[in-house]
A and B are shown apart, each in its own frame.
Chain A
């Protein structure tokens, strides 16, 4: 009974509420890399303007577990005019490259299917970073560990949805049982196809063994910066899905205990 999220980009407005709601719930600071010292000022000031449409946070990081992409598709005459938005995060893959690459089993899958980094177990070896085909997992110099979306591990284990899905003003991000979400996604896709959006597609049914966080895109996945054929390292070695899932339940309990202890460590908090 895996939990996951369906991200319907066709109704995303690019408002970034998901980015902030994620930081709010998970106590993540503004990304230190986005701020710098300026003369005569006792605090840091943001300087991360990019000029890339309305995207100034650019990528997922140890403090940005969500990131909204902005894709402007306009021809010279503006007869074709489209602005696509897509909120990206960890996909909680069934074939999770990070999980398998972790030499100390710091990365575990819980009983709800989410892939979770145990902060007190992580040794900061960074093996998981290249193992993720999506560039999701990030290292923090402050904590010496890696960080990523937990699928709001605490919330989902208390009967709540993820913070981002809850905040999303248009329902573009929905949380639930993956099987139910797939039904919802199929219906939405059929409707869009019926309306003539031929390029609309679902991303995440087959990629990386199936993604628990999957997407409805209005154009090819690569347009949204997602690999069209993601390669997870272990796919080259063996089919480890069964092993991973079987071990998940065992690991889950340990994960929860560890989570509690995480309260002692506040190293990753950065005072801006």
Chain B
């Protein structure tokens, strides 16, 4: 099932594989999407649903599955769900569901802006006697604090079991409700639910694939969770052909999340030190971050954290100074993209680096973001072409309209040309966590340099400027371990002789022993005593020994291809793959064999060559130690080793800020009232009530039409890598708006003519593409129209069009601050903006 993704258009080569499954193996492909796209055209069925109703649709599948005869009689489902998920776990009796509180969960603060999650917690047995009496190490601190085991009821009958809570939570998510809220015929819904159910089990697995069609919502994280819950209930996680697959958008969007250039994360998914929590000292940081997860593989957190800090400051990082922790910055709020521009508009941000991104087109409420740029003192842009962001002061719509004047904009702008991928060496991590090396083929032209060159040489200059400082706040930059000078052989063939060594950086990411600089083959080698460094522990193994870069391996096979690149962690391609075997460690079926227990050898084996995502010697059925941490605590039947109970979470006792289970909320801007609960939208969604960012009210008669923004095959994102290319510009030359003939007739809009799309944030013009691929929905008896706009265009380049994001608004998911670009409201009319024909 492809949902929240237009796979054939946005990931065309990945779509090769489901299509092959269809043509060669009879797989059924289903596309659930408001629009009929090139993906729908190739699927067996297309199921149209109103944008923003995904949780209801998926929740109804959950309800259908757990009340079905097959699910309740086939022992496979029970064995998987009772043992590998937290279905049997008992939740705090104080927990109140949305069914009890009409759309909100227990724990909502009095101002309604945030949840406290105490009532969502597990019921636990008594705390074990600690394994240590005196804590000498960080690990000992964790051992002192191991909680009691969660209480369970394997019969699933107890009303406080997660299973019973879910059953009750989704019992009103029926096919009839789907028809009423999603506007999707009951019959089509049932076809999807039945297909997924019938193609899951011992011999078969089903896959769910999504992309930003699910993330760009005020309930984005919860949509994805609903899918994950469904897959866990169907026994489709950790098994070949199963899973919830995220199709990500940029070449190393995965790598830049793993090795985060993101405000809240250090590399390897260690949380940033955060002054809102108790992370004052290094010990506080470790206790705050690691204690709640210590009974998972995260029990090794102290080793990962120490190795990270040691990698930053090298010799200067010692046990005595807590490895330099005190000099590392702490976050104090949400500093992500949207708040960044809000604070930029307020003048808080003075200097700005924009590297390979084009917020002047791609940013939400782009007019707001462009105007914020004018408040900067200086801005550095690195790119191939003169992006809209880099030229905002010159010819933006705000300059053309006279709203801003070049002469008044004091921003000093630097455009530094960037090297292309083919002109530099380095690694990308693709959407399946596969790290792949690309080689340098030639020097970049002129002043163009690799991004690494820029940051390395900026760092060298800054370190010189701060070399003589004795101030505390300059300690980090002064003591930064910053030595990536190339070996002569690395630059011998090239004009650019000061290109830093990408290999040396990757080696540091991988990790090595500080003393003798020998690469570490696995993260199991990491230490908490400062003897090892590792920039991002999850990547350990990519440089398994000196000179051996596993990202460079290029031997594929017809399946897992373990010798093509390197999949983090530890070359594991299918995560949690212990779940591909049953309780006894036997494959669920011959067809779905992947990882299983070899009783003679006393280890888990994977003949395909896939990495085993489990402790190889931990026998199925073996009990965990109640007072242990990490793998000691986990049992031989706990496949989900990154969860502190070893189970797949159908119910999230913590970690999700907007509820332990997903509930249907309407998008923040919606033409209809929530028909499921009294609560209209996500109560804790992030909003910015500031000038220049007005919201539309629910069912606002001025903006009755639903709008989605998206991409097409022929262009890439904000267009920086496609609109300047004649070969791509001519394929999709101009901005267009997809609109149904029904709405077009109502508004007098003709195909290929200009039309105007308007929101309280702005108005834009686009060519009309009138097509029956768009359809009106009937929601509770009322017609709801949708229009769609790809957002690739801007005022620069060989293919031009208005900036679609001038229409969108700053509003976001509360967990990850991803904007709601997939659904908001607008109005449309015939003719060009400003009233011309």
Residues of A within 8 A of B (CB): 11, 13-17, 19-20, 23-24, 29-31, 34-35, 38, 40, 43-51, 53-54, 56-57, 72, 74-76, 78, 81-85, 169-171, 272
Q: How large is the interface on B (under 10, 10 to 19, 20 to 34, 35 or more residues)?
A: 35 or more
Using a CB-CB cutoff of 8 Å, which residues 715-742 of chain B contact chain A? 726-734, 736
13 contacts between A and B (CB under 8 A): A11-B23, A13-B12, A13-B42, A15-B8, A16-B731, A51-B736, A51-B768, A51-B769, A75-B772, A81-B40, A169-B13, A169-B15, A170-B42
* Chain A residue at minimal CB-CB distance from B732: A56
State whether the Cβ of B101 lies closer than 8 Å to any Cβ in chain A: no
Chain B residues whose CB sits within 8 angstroms of the CB of A20 once the complex forms: 727-728, 731
* Chain B residue at minimal CB-CB distance from A64: B730
Beyond A51-B767, A74-B771, A81-B40: 19 further Cβ-contacts under 8 Å?
A: A11-B23, A13-B9, A13-B42, A14-B41, A14-B713, A15-B12, A29-B726, A30-B727, A45-B797, A46-B733, A47-B733, A49-B733, A49-B736, A51-B770, A53-B769, A169-B15, A170-B15, A170-B19, A170-B42
Q: Which one of B395, B726, B732, B772 contacts A78 once the chains associate, using CB atoms below 8 Å?
A: B772
What's the nearest-Cβ distance from chain A to residue B71, in Å? 29
State whether the Cβ of B800 lies closer than 8 Å to any Cβ in chain A: yes
Chain A residues whose CB sits within 8 angstroms of the CB of B186 once the complex forms: none
What's the nearest-Cβ distance from chain A to residue B296, in Å? 39
What's the nearest-Cβ distance from chain B to residue A198, in Å? 17
A82 to B38, alpha carbons, bound, how many Å?
A: 10
* Chain B residue at minimal CB-CB distance from A38: B800
Cβ A45 vs Cβ B798 within 8 A:
yes
Of the listed residues B38, B729, B730, B731, the one surrounded by the most CB atoms of chain A closer than 10 A to its CB is: B730
A51 to B737, alpha carbons, bound, how many Å?
A: 10
- A30-B729, A51-B769 known; A46 and B734 CB under 8 Å? yes
Cβ B768 vs Cβ A46 within 8 A:
no
State whether the Cβ of B460 lies closer than 8 Å to any Cβ in chain A: no
What's the nearest-Cβ distance from chain B to residue A74, in Å? 4
Cβ A19 vs Cβ B731 within 8 A:
yes
Using a CB-CB cutoff of 8 Å, which residues 757-797 of chain B contact chain A? 767-773, 775, 797
- A23-B727, A83-B38, A85-B41 known; A49 and B12 CB under 8 Å? no
Cβ A56 vs Cβ B731 within 8 A:
yes
Cβ B712 vs Cβ A54 within 8 A:
yes
Cβ A46 vs Cβ B730 within 8 A:
yes
A54 to B767, alpha carbons, bound, how many Å?
A: 12
Cβ B773 vs Cβ A13 within 8 A:
no
- A49-B736, A56-B733 known; A272 and B799 CB under 8 Å? no
* Chain B residue at minimal CB-CB distance from A79: B185
Cβ A171 vs Cβ B752 within 8 A:
no
A74 to B772, alpha carbons, bound, how many Å?
A: 6
4 closest A-B pairs (Cβ-Cβ)? Answer: A30-B726, A51-B752, A46-B733, A74-B772
A85 to B775, alpha carbons, bound, how many Å?
A: 21
A74 to B742, alpha carbons, bound, how many Å?
A: 13
Q: Which one of A43, A81, A169 contacts B36 once the chains associate, using CB atoms below 8 Å?
A: A81
Chain A residues whose CB sits within 8 angstroms of the CB of B46 once the complex forms: 81
State whether the Cβ of B451 lies closer than 8 Å to any Cβ in chain A: no
What's the nearest-Cβ distance from chain B to residue A44, in Å? 7
What's the nearest-Cβ distance from chain B to residue A271, in Å? 10
* Chain A residue at minimal CB-CB distance from B46: A81
What's the nearest-Cβ distance from chain B to residue A151, in Å? 20
What's the nearest-Cβ distance from chain B to residue A86, in Å? 12
A29 to B726, alpha carbons, bound, how many Å?
A: 7
Chain A residues whose CB sits within 8 angstroms of the CB of B733 once the complex forms: 34, 46-49, 56
* Chain B residue at minimal CB-CB distance from A192: B23
- A45-B798, A170-B19 known; A15 and B727 CB under 8 Å? no
Q: Which one of A30, A47, A85 contacts B734 once the chains associate, using CB atoms below 8 Å?
A: A47
Cβ B799 vs Cβ A46 within 8 A:
yes
State whether the Cβ of B751 lies closer than 8 Å to any Cβ in chain A: yes
State whether the Cβ of B714 lies closer than 8 Å to any Cβ in chain A: yes
What's the nearest-Cβ distance from chain B to residue A28, in Å? 9
A81 to B634, alpha carbons, bound, how many Å?
A: 51
Cβ B15 vs Cβ A13 within 8 A:
yes
* Chain A residue at minimal CB-CB distance from B48: A78
- A11-B23, A169-B12 known; A35 and B726 CB under 8 Å? yes
State whether the Cβ of B16 lies closer than 8 Å to any Cβ in chain A: yes
Chain B residues whose CB sits within 8 angstroms of the CB of A57 once the complex forms: 730-731
What's the nearest-Cβ distance from chain A to residue B340, in Å? 32
Chain A residues whose CB sits within 8 angstroms of the CB of B19 once the complex forms: 11, 13, 170
Cβ A85 vs Cβ B726 within 8 A:
no
Chain B residues whose CB sits within 8 angstroms of the CB of A43 once the complex forms: 798
Of the listed residues B48, B714, B731, the one surrounded by the most CB atoms of chain A closer than 10 A to its CB is: B731
A11 to B767, alpha carbons, bound, how many Å?
A: 29
What's the nearest-Cβ distance from chain A to residue B773, in Å? 7
What's the nearest-Cβ distance from chain B to residue A70, in Å? 9
Cβ B731 vs Cβ A83 within 8 A:
no
What's the nearest-Cβ distance from chain B to residue A238, in Å? 41
Chain A residues whose CB sits within 8 angstroms of the CB of B729 once the complex forms: 30, 34-35, 45-46
Q: Which one of B767, B772, B773 contacts A49 once the chains associate, using CB atoms below 8 Å?
A: B767
What's the nearest-Cβ distance from chain B to residue A166, in Å? 12
A268 to B39, alpha carbons, bound, how many Å?
A: 37
- A51-B752, A56-B730 known; A45 and B767 CB under 8 Å? no
* Chain A residue at minimal CB-CB distance from B22: A11
Cβ B15 vs Cβ A30 within 8 A:
no
Cβ B767 vs Cβ A78 within 8 A:
no
Using a CB-CB cutoff of 8 Å, which residues 1-57 of chain B contact chain A? 8-9, 12-13, 15-16, 19-20, 23, 36, 38-42, 46, 48
What's the nearest-Cβ distance from chain A to residue B99, in Å? 35
Chain A residues whose CB sits within 8 angstroms of the CB of B712 once the complex forms: 54
What's the nearest-Cβ distance from chain A to residue B50, in Å? 14
Chain B residues whose CB sits within 8 angstroms of the CB of A51 once the complex forms: 736, 751-752, 767-770
Chain B residues whose CB sits within 8 angstroms of the CB of A44 once the complex forms: 798
A94 to B745, alpha carbons, bound, how many Å?
A: 48
Cβ A49 vs Cβ B752 within 8 A:
yes
Cβ A16 vs Cβ B713 within 8 A:
yes
A24 to B725, alpha carbons, bound, how many Å?
A: 12
Chain A residues whose CB sits within 8 angstroms of the CB of B798 once the complex forms: 30, 35, 43-46, 272
Chain A residues whose CB sits within 8 angstroms of the CB of B775 once the complex forms: 78
What's the nearest-Cβ distance from chain A to residue B51, in Å? 17
Cβ B41 vs Cβ A13 within 8 A:
yes
What's the nearest-Cβ distance from chain A to residue B309, in Å? 44
Q: Mark B792-810, 1 if CB is under 8 A from A, else 0.
A: 0000011110000000000
A53 to B41, alpha carbons, bound, how many Å?
A: 13
Q: Which one of A31, A46, A47, A82 contacts B41 once the chains associate, using CB atoms below 8 Å?
A: A82
A54 to B790, alpha carbons, bound, how many Å?
A: 12
Q: Which one of A24, A31, A53 contacts B730 once the chains associate, using CB atoms below 8 Å?
A: A31
Cβ B771 vs Cβ A72 within 8 A:
yes
Of the listed residues A13, A29, A40, A75, the one surrounded by the most CB atoms of chain B closer than 10 A to its CB is: A13
Cβ A49 vs Cβ B734 within 8 A:
yes
Chain B residues whose CB sits within 8 angstroms of the CB of A30 once the complex forms: 726-727, 729-730, 798
* Chain B residue at minimal CB-CB distance from A46: B733
A72 to B733, alpha carbons, bound, how many Å?
A: 20
Q: Which one of B20, B36, B713, B770 contacts A15 once the chains associate, using CB atoms below 8 Å?
A: B713
Of the listed residues B20, B40, B42, B775, the one surrounded by the most CB atoms of chain A closer than 10 A to its CB is: B42
Cβ B751 vs Cβ A83 within 8 A:
no
